[in-house]
Amino acid sequence: MDEQLRTIAEYGDVDALYTKLADDPYMLDRIDHIPIADTPLHVAVVEGRTHFGMEVANLKPSLACKLNHMGLSPLHLALQHKCIKMVRGLIRINSQLIRVKAKGMITPLHYLAQNEDPDLLAEFLSACPSSIEDTTVRCETAVHVAVKNGSIRCFKVLMGWLRRVDKEDVLNWKDEDGNTALHTAMVKLLIKNVNVNVKNFNDLTAMDIFHLQGSLHNTEIGKILHKAKAKKASDLTSNMTLGDYFSKELSLVDKRDKYFGNNTQKNSNDVRTVILVVAILIATATYQAGLSPPGGYWQDDYIPPSANNGTNSSSSLGQGQRAHRAGEMIMSPSYLFYFLTLNGLAFYLSVWTILVIIIGLPFSRPLFASTSLLLFAYYVSMEATFPTQGSVSLTVGKYLYVGLTLTSTLAAYLIPRIAFSQHQKLQRRVDTMRGNRVLVCPEN
pLDDT at residue number 443: 37
Mean pLDDT of 178-190: 59
Kindly report, residue by residue over 323-382, the tens digit of the pLDDT: 767 777 777 767 777 787 788 888 888 888 887 777 777 777 787 778 778 878 877 887
In a domain, 151, yes or no: no
Q: Is the pLDDT at 399 greater than 60, yes or no?
A: yes
In a domain, 273, yes or no: yes
Mean pLDDT of 199-227: 63
Kindly report, residue by residue over 170-182, the tens digit of the pLDDT: 888 887 777 776 6
pLDDT at residue number 314: 40
Q: Is the pLDDT at 110 greater than 90, yes or no?
A: yes
pLDDT at residue number 439: 36
Return the percentage of the chain with pLDDT > 70, whole number. 68
pLDDT averaged over the chain?
Answer: 76
pLDDT at residue number 367: 78
3-state SS of the chain? CCHHHHHHHHHCCHHHHHHHHHHCCCHHHHHHCCCECCCHHHHHHHHCCHHHHHHHHHHCHHHHHCECCCCCCHHHHHHHCCCHHHHHHHHHHCHHHHHCCCHHHCCHHHHHHHCCCHHHHHHHHHHCHHHHHCCCCCCCCHHHHHHHCCCHHHHHHHHHHHHHCCCHHHHHCCCCCCCCHHHHHCCHHHHCCCCCCCCCCCCCCHHHHHHHCHHHCCHHHHHHHHHCCCCCHHHCCCCCCHHHHHHCCCCHHHHHHHHHCCCCCHHHHHHHHHHHHHHHHHHHHHHHHHHCCCCCECCCCECCCCCCCCCCHHHCCCCCCCCECCCCECCCHHHHHHHHHHHHHHHHHHHHHHHHHHCCCCCHHHHHHHHHHHHHHHHHHHHHHCCCCCCHHHHHHHHHHHHHHHHHHHHHHHHHHHHHHHHHHHHHHHHHHHCCCCCCCCCC
In a domain, 64, yes or no: no
pLDDT at residue number 40: 92
In a domain, 415, yes or no: yes
In a domain, 62, yes or no: no
- pTM of the prediction? 0.52
Q: Higher pLDDT residue, 261 or 77?
A: 77
In a domain, 33, yes or no: no
Q: Is the pLDDT at 39 greater than 70, yes or no?
A: yes
pLDDT at residue number 237: 56
**How many domains in the chain?**
1
Mean pLDDT of 228-255: 64
In a domain, 124, yes or no: no
In a domain, 286, yes or no: yes
Structural domain range at position 333: 255-434
Q: Higher pLDDT residue, 68 or 395?
A: 68
